[in-house]
Structure 1
Amino acid sequence: MSKTVYFLLFILLPVAHLKAQLNWQEMKHSQPTESEAQSLLRRILNDPDYYLGSNAFPSPRTGANSWQDNSGNIFVSSGLGYDRHGSWGLLDDLWKYNPANDTWQLLHGEGKALSEFVENTSTPSPRRNALTWIDREQSLWLMGGKQFSDTEYLYDLWKYNTRNNTWVRISDATKTNVSSVWSKNARNPEPGNIPGSRAASATWVDKDGRFWLFGGISRNYAKPSEDLYNDLWMYEPSTMTWTWVAGNNIANYKGIFPSKENPQPPGPSARSYSAAWYEKEGHKLWLYAGIGIDSTGKDVGALADLWSYDITSSTWHFVSGSTKLYARSEGDEDYLSYPGYRSHSITWKDKNGKFYLYGGQNKVTNNIVDTKTHIWQFDPALAKWHVLLTDNVPTTIAEGSAYSDDAGHIVLFGGRKLNRNTSQTYPTNQLWKINLK
């Protein structure tokens, strides 16, 4: 049984002790009789509580695809991890979690871990770091993502009808590593325009029900290396058409920041694994950090810049942060200016329109990962970050799925777990909750 294990140096930097002390709680679930595979993994990972899931609870995973409907139900699909038999691969399943009664339901698939691509015309193939949206009819949309291999990127587009529990394939593309097709000019919708294969893009749904996509990572058969993008796309579900809105039609575009000569730069650099939020009041797309290209165009690393895209005026604005790679957070007693460099962060938004960012991976050097596990709150009205301290810290530190309800409760599922005894990280299926009120 092959597995991927990351070694992690867990670092908490001193920050201002702000007003509220919040408390994370792990939601424990009854476990069936321990299997031989689970017992073996517990010994290998030195984790006596490691749980492989069941037919009533999802197995451990990272890089899963997720959604939340208007009723507060959370949907989780695929990702990379272990199935309940202990096999390693991409998980073939779709789950629904009801926070009101704390129950999971397996909607599709068998939850098996697959290491080879399986083409299916009725359901999406297992994948990780795909692009997701939810439409006004509460259907789940899924596009692209990575296969088990790090060299194969998907392009297909699917829609899941939550009323009759069926998948429908919208695009007929079955190939991997499909190149993007741009129109001659941005904001000019032409037939055949497509963003191509990609994963780990930032995505949003605006108040008009349109889907948005920024950047991400991909590759094509002509090049042996992966490419990062900074193009912004809009998808109109009613007409099923893509429009290239902004950004560049070349890969690995460098960052350009405001200056006296150029007070309004064209937009963020090419990047992937960024944090993203939609602001309904200002009709803006917000984007923070990720793995991307620096301002010289020569280096790739962890970014620490915050941008907003004004949909009404069709313009990008640099808001705050640093123009350098691996910039750390700074600030005074009450407000820290920005969370610092990171990627693979966990994000959500509350009913008052404030954004939240938790954890994330900062830097990998010789298998050492530096992470931060504070909750950061961003108020778009003030354009300021605010640190929230907690009484305890979840062992989930990156690549999980988090959503909020109207009562201020946050649910965090899956992602990458930190074993504080061994400093290793690996996929988890832990379920955490916190009340931010």
Structure 2
Amino acid sequence: MGIPGIPDSLNRPIGTYESARWTGKDGKFWYFESGYISAMNGSGWGADLWRYDPVLEQWAWVKGPAAPNFTGNYGVQGVEDPNNMPPARGFGAATWTDTTGNLWLFGGTAYIDDYIYYSDLWRFDTSTENWTWINGTQQVEQAPIHGTQGVPDISSTPGSRAEMIATWTDRDNNLWLFGGQAIDSGAVIASDLWRYSIADNMWTWMKGPSTYWSPGSYGVQGVEDPLNEPSARWAATTWTDESGDLWLFGGRRTNNWYDNLNDLWRYRISTNSWTWMNGPPGTLSDTGAMGNLCEEDLLYSPSSRFECTAHWTDRDGNLWLWGGRTSALDQSKSYLNDIWKYDVGTNTWAIMGPEQPADAIGNFGQKGVPDPCNRPYGAMGNMGWYRPETNSIYLFGGYQFRPELPSSPALRSLMWRMELDTNCIQYPCPYVCDGLSLDVETQSASNGQNNGLAILTTGAGYAPYSGWLNGQSVVDIDTLAQLSPGYHHLVISDAFACSDSITFYIGSVNEGGAGNWHIHQQGASLLVDVTNSPIQLQAFDALGRLVLDQFLPVGSSQVAAPGLAQGIYVFRAVGQDDAVKLFME
């Protein structure tokens, strides 16, 4: 962590998920290491504050405890004090940078026996580097108090909330907040719009229902109407355009993992009205549509997603986003690293790169050296900062795709800088083949006899797949049926020509003994069913050596066979002509 306030090339915070982040008025990046952390000094929820200097490319630990699960020090409400500090928290606490450069923090969650939701509002003064508890209560699990719509009231409050990525700061230095997870007899999904006046220290309920789970009212696309309202959602993406209008995209509609949106909305402060601008109206898990790189069209839009926390407005007023998580493309492959640009003037989206499916494998290149073929892993809930001086985006942390274990993402503390290519020069980047794997499971019938069926599973590859079995092309490579006994060789290739191969064995039919007995393997044992009369069971290896000789009574017997290595064995009953050939795995 280093010395508080001193940048150093050796300093580095822990990568966390859905932590709070800001861009200071001086262009430095701020990071409240909230969210779940696991480190040498313990596991839990973080509360330390960091600053990154993009010119020096160095981190400085500014304030807060190194150990997790800090309970906070509120001090006196409204009074700045060097000892004040917010409690540890995570999961989408709301953040704002005001017009004077102060950093604001509201709500979020922590886990103490169960998840708790905060309703406190904090201000961090970047000049004095002190926290002040400004508004809200120290009590958790507080329901909203809406009051009268459009009327400021000292008692009005959004209540305890989390997953509030949808925030804005307007030109009059007011802080805005939309939806998220609220608390009202349990966690609920909201669609209300709130404004906080810094000057008056009061919240105002501005728009949207005071109830929850609202389906919204889309109206006519592109037509502003006071009755229009976005549906309830959390972990949505936001921007402020050059005119001061507030924009909202996507998010998660319910607590269902697959209920994600890709609709785009504009809110005009002067008229207090929403306009549905782009994307399908309320469609869940929509795949979106894209053309060639940098090609704009009214029909194009990003796929539905949530926790797309890297978003920015560029120097020309365009709205950008990177990554997030989707269930639209493939429910088992959902971490994104695509870049999209929205042109406010033409109401069109364009994909800016890379043209890859979800769960793309990263290509790191050489540290500190730009390369058009470098790319980070797909991620959700990461930190993103935009630096207009260089027209570049910085990415840090978040849950990132892990090719060696796709079902379990990794928390990485890597910082990426992406220099945006507005000219859209396309480079022939080689695809990185990393982690494509093939496995085969042979299935047995209910009586233990192999039925010639093989089930295939693949990992870290990209559909569509091609397959060749014993040199012959196969169409269905998920299930191979009616395979003859013996060895088989299978090769697969994915959409990017990455390939893997495997050799597997289909055992012979294991019946015999003139109907008097049959045998099949169960792990390191053999299950032998004997009818009519007892047998003396013998087994011979491929060299004809006797490796098993055991008396078995009538009925089912489990025979331990730990000494039988993998291979083919012949089993026979003494005094009987029939034998069974069995492949021991």
TM above 0.5, yes or no, is: yes
1:319 aligns with one of 277, 283, 308: 277
Match in the other structure for 2:214:
253
Compared CA separation, residues 393 and 86, structure 1 to 2 (3 A): farther
For residue 421 of structure 1, report the CA deviation from its aligned partner.
2.3
Amino acid at match of 2:268: D
For residue 353 of structure 1, report the CA deviation from its aligned partner.
1.7
1:228 aligns with one of 183, 189, 207: 189
2:268 aligns with one of 283, 291, 310: 310
Compared CA separation, residues 101 and 332, structure 1 to 2 (3 A): closer
Q: Which whole-Å CA distance do the structure 2 matches of 1:417 and 1:191 have between them?
A: 42
Compared CA separation, residues 288 and 127, structure 1 to 2 (3 A): same
Summarize the alignment of residues 404-415 of structure 1 with structure 2, pairs less than 5 Å apart: 404-405=386-387, 406-415=389-398
Contact 2:41–2:67 (8 Å) recurs in 1: no
Match in the other structure for 1:207:
171
For residue 361 of structure 1, report the CA deviation from its aligned partner.
1.0
- TM-score of the pair, normalised by structure 2: 0.60
Match in the other structure for 1:397:
379
Q: Deviations over 1:361-407 (max 9, x none)?
A: 11399994523321011121221111112433302511111112121
For residue 109 of structure 1, report the CA deviation from its aligned partner.
1.4
Greater RCO (CA < 8 Å, at least 6 residues apart) = 1
SS of the aligned residue for 2:135 comes to coil
Amino acid at match of 1:372: L
Summarize the alignment of residues 311-350 of structure 1 with structure 2, pairs less than 5 Å apart: 311-323=269-281, 324-333=283-292, 334-335=295-296, 337-345=300-308, 346-350=310-314
For residue 318 of structure 1, report the CA deviation from its aligned partner.
0.3
Q: Which whole-Å CA distance do the structure 1 matches of 2:399 and 2:258 have between them?
A: 23
Amino acid at match of 1:274: A
Contact 1:83–1:111 (8 Å) recurs in 2: no
Compared CA separation, residues 369 and 127, structure 1 to 2 (3 A): farther
Contact 1:61–1:80 (8 Å) recurs in 2: yes
Determine if the alignment matches structure 1 residue 130 to structure 2 residue 114: no
1:240 aligns with one of 181, 195, 201: 201
1:57 aligns with one of 12, 30, 34: 12
Compared CA separation, residues 363 and 54, structure 1 to 2 (3 A): farther
Contact 1:321–1:340 (8 Å) recurs in 2: no
Q: Which whole-Å CA distance do the structure 1 matches of 2:65 and 2:38 have between them?
A: 9
Match in the other structure for 1:275:
237
Match in the other structure for 1:16:
none
Q: Which whole-Å CA distance do the structure 2 matches of 1:414 and 1:396 have between them?
A: 11
1:159 aligns with one of 104, 123, 126: 123
Q: Which whole-Å CA distance do the structure 2 matches of 1:161 and 1:108 have between them?
A: 12
Structure 2, unaligned runs of 5 or more = 1-7, 76-83, 355-372, 422-585
Amino acid at match of 2:167: T
Contact 2:320–2:340 (8 Å) recurs in 1: yes
How many pairs were matched up? 377
Contact 1:306–1:320 (8 Å) recurs in 2: yes
Amino acid at match of 1:304: N
Amino acid at match of 2:348: K
Determine if the alignment matches structure 1 residue 183 to structure 2 residue 147: yes
2:183 aligns with one of 213, 216, 219: 219
Contact 1:230–1:251 (8 Å) recurs in 2: yes
| Seq. identity, % | 25
1:287 aligns with one of 238, 244, 248: 248
Compared CA separation, residues 140 and 385, structure 1 to 2 (3 A): same
For residue 176 of structure 1, report the CA deviation from its aligned partner.
0.8
- TM-score of the pair, normalised by structure 1: 0.80
Q: Deviations over 1:227-254 (max 9, x none)?
A: 0111111111111111111101111111
Compared CA separation, residues 332 and 100, structure 1 to 2 (3 A): closer
Match in the other structure for 2:336:
372
Contact 2:286–2:328 (8 Å) recurs in 1: no
Q: Which whole-Å CA distance do the structure 2 matches of 1:328 and 1:322 have between them?
A: 10
Structure index of larger Rg = 2
Contact 2:291–2:351 (8 Å) recurs in 1: no
For residue 422 of structure 1, report the CA deviation from its aligned partner.
2.1
Q: Deviations over 1:108-157 (max 9, x none)?
A: 1133222x755654210011110011112211110101112563110001
Match in the other structure for 2:401:
418
Determine if the alignment matches structure 1 residue 361 to structure 2 residue 322: no
Contact 2:22–2:29 (8 Å) recurs in 1: yes
Q: Deviations over 1:316-373 (max 9, x none)?
A: 0001111211111124442362102100012122222211111111139999452332
Q: Which whole-Å CA distance do the structure 2 matches of 1:411 and 1:207 have between them?
A: 25
Amino acid at match of 2:229: G
Structure 1, unaligned runs of 5 or more = 1-52
Is 122-131 or 170-179 further displaced after alignment?
Answer: 170-179
Q: Which whole-Å CA distance do the structure 2 matches of 1:272 and 1:142 have between them?
A: 17
Q: Which whole-Å CA distance do the structure 2 matches of 1:416 and 1:248 have between them?
A: 32
Amino acid at match of 2:413: N
Amino acid at match of 1:436: L
Q: Which whole-Å CA distance do the structure 2 matches of 1:392 and 1:331 have between them?
A: 22
SS of the aligned residue for 1:155 comes to coil
For residue 163 of structure 1, report the CA deviation from its aligned partner.
0.7
Is 359-368 or 205-214 further displaced after alignment?
Answer: 359-368
Structure 1: which 4+ aligned runs deviate by more than 6 Å?
364-367
Match in the other structure for 1:110:
65
Match in the other structure for 2:32:
77
Q: Which whole-Å CA distance do the structure 1 matches of 2:86 and 2:274 have between them?
A: 34
SS of the aligned residue for 1:286 comes to strand
Backbone CA RMSD of aligned residues? 2.8
Contact 1:188–1:244 (8 Å) recurs in 2: yes
Match in the other structure for 2:416:
432
Q: Which whole-Å CA distance do the structure 2 matches of 1:54 and 1:111 have between them?
A: 18
Is 128-137 or 421-430 further displaced after alignment?
Answer: 421-430
